[in-house]
């Protein structure tokens, strides 16, 4: 499926506090209706890439110093989060940033901030349709919800904003494997039923590549590999480094691990 280009990141560099360079020339393309996953180890710059798109770099004293981010053909780099969210780009932050002292339903209502004053009942129903667990808890204070409920809550909250492009930062963080599966299935359904374009940053490469159409692999602030999810799943390097299965499918010996470390640097 080759939709229109929704988001085009063209060779951006991101610098924090004017001195710390985190991204060194990242380029990627997100097409309409796709799920794109961005993989990489800790500190590779995945979250920074998302924040560069959503404008959340600004409060952290970060800036896109070079290159451009084009959304539907218009440059949006270094815009404020208020402007970017109103264009339909919503980021779900890493680590379930719920509003602790608001009830579940109030949390969801904050998602209507980009279109204040418009009716939202239908959207609430939609979110409860995707996440029935939230309906039962709608009057509970979010601070007392379980991790799984919270992940559903923050994704639901973002859905309330009618996102055109939804950026998910590690939706599987700290969740039980079964729950991860459920969340990813819902993400896939949202993509198919709501015609939303999604970008998923993940450590759980296995899950992410199962639902994604296209994938990028980052290391040290650079994109080191990109391909369709299908191809990436079968790529021997990705298999070893991110999917955790050696070419033979057997457990690796220590020697292999060392070899893989060396090889990874070349990747």
Partner 1 sequence: MEFFLQLLVNGLSLGFLYALSALGFVMIFKSSSVLNFAHGELMAIGAFIFLALSAWAGLPILLAFVFTMIGSFTLGFILEKFFLRPLIGEALIQVIMLTLGLALMFRGLLLFIFGGDIHDYPDFLPEALTIQWGAINIPSVYVAAFIIGILFLILFGLFFKYSSQGIYMRSVADNQPAALSLGVHVRRVFALSWAIAGLVCAISGIVLGIINGINVHELSSIGLKVFPVVILGGLDSIGGAILGGIIIGLLESFTGGYISTSLREIIPYIVLIFILMVKPYGLFGLVEIERV
**β-strand partners of 141:** 103
Site for partner 1 contains 114 (CB under 8 A): yes
Angle 177-193/147-159 helices, nearest 10 degrees? 10
For the beta sheet containing 222-228, the strands, ordered from the edge strand earlier in sequence to the opposite edge, are 89-92, 165-169, 197-202, 35-40, 214-219, 222-228
Site for partner 1 contains 124 (CB under 8 A): no
Q: Can you tell me which of 11, 21, 43, 113 binds partner 1, judged by CB under 8 A?
A: 113
Site for partner 1 contains 67 (CB under 8 A): no
User: Shortest approach of partner 1 to residue 257 CB, angstroms?
Assistant: 33
CA distance 35 to 17: 32
Q: Can you tell me which of 3, 20, 43, 100 binds partner 1, judged by CB under 8 A?
A: 100
CA distance 27 to 125: 37
Half-sphere exposure of 267 (CA within 13 A, CB side): 27
- Please identify, using beta-carbon distances, which residue of 31 and 86 lies nearer to partner 1: 86
Of residues 156-215, those binding partner 1 (CB under 8 A): 157-158, 161
Site for partner 1 contains 140 (CB under 8 A): no
Site for partner 1 contains 263 (CB under 8 A): no
Tell the residue number behind the tokens 């901030």, with chain if given: 113
**Which residues of this protein are in contact with partner 1, per CB under 8 A?**
54, 56, 59, 81-82, 85-86, 90-93, 97-102, 106-107, 109-114, 116-117, 141, 143-144, 147, 154, 157-158, 161
């Amino acid at each position: 499926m080759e939709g229109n280009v929704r988001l085009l990141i063209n060779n951006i560099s991101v610098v924090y506090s004017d001195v710390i360079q985190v991204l060194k020339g990242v380029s990627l393309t997100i097409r309409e209706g796709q799920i794109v996953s961005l993989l990489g180890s800790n500190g590779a710059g995945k979250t920074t890439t998302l924040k560069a798109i959503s404008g959340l770099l600004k409060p952290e004293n970060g800036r896109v110093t070079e290159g451009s981010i084009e959304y539907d053909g218009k440059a949006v780099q270094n815009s404020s989060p208020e402007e970017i969210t109103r264009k339909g780009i919503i980021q779900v932050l890493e680590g379930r940033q719920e509003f602790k002292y608001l009830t579940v339903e109030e949390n969801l209502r904050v998602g209507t901030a980009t279109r204040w004053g418009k009716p939202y009942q239908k959207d609430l129903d939609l979110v409860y349709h995707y996440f029935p667990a939230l309906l039962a808890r709608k009057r509970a204070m979010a601070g007392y919800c379980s991790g799984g409920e919270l992940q559903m809550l923050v994704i639901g909250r973002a859905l309330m904003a009618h996102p055109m492009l939804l950026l998910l930062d590690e939706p599987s963080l700290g969740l039980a494997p079964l729950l991860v599966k459920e969340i990813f299935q819902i993400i896939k359904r949202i993509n198919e039923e709501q015609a939303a374009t999604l970008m998923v940053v993940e450590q759980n490469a296995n899950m992410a590549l199962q639902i994604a159409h296209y994938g990028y692999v980052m290391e040290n602030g650079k994109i080191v590999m990109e391909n369709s999810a299908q191809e990436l799943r079968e790529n021997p390097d990705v298999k070893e480094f991110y999917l955790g299965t050696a070419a033979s499918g057997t457990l690796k010996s220590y020697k292999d691990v060392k070899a893989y470390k060396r090889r990874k640097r070349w990747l």
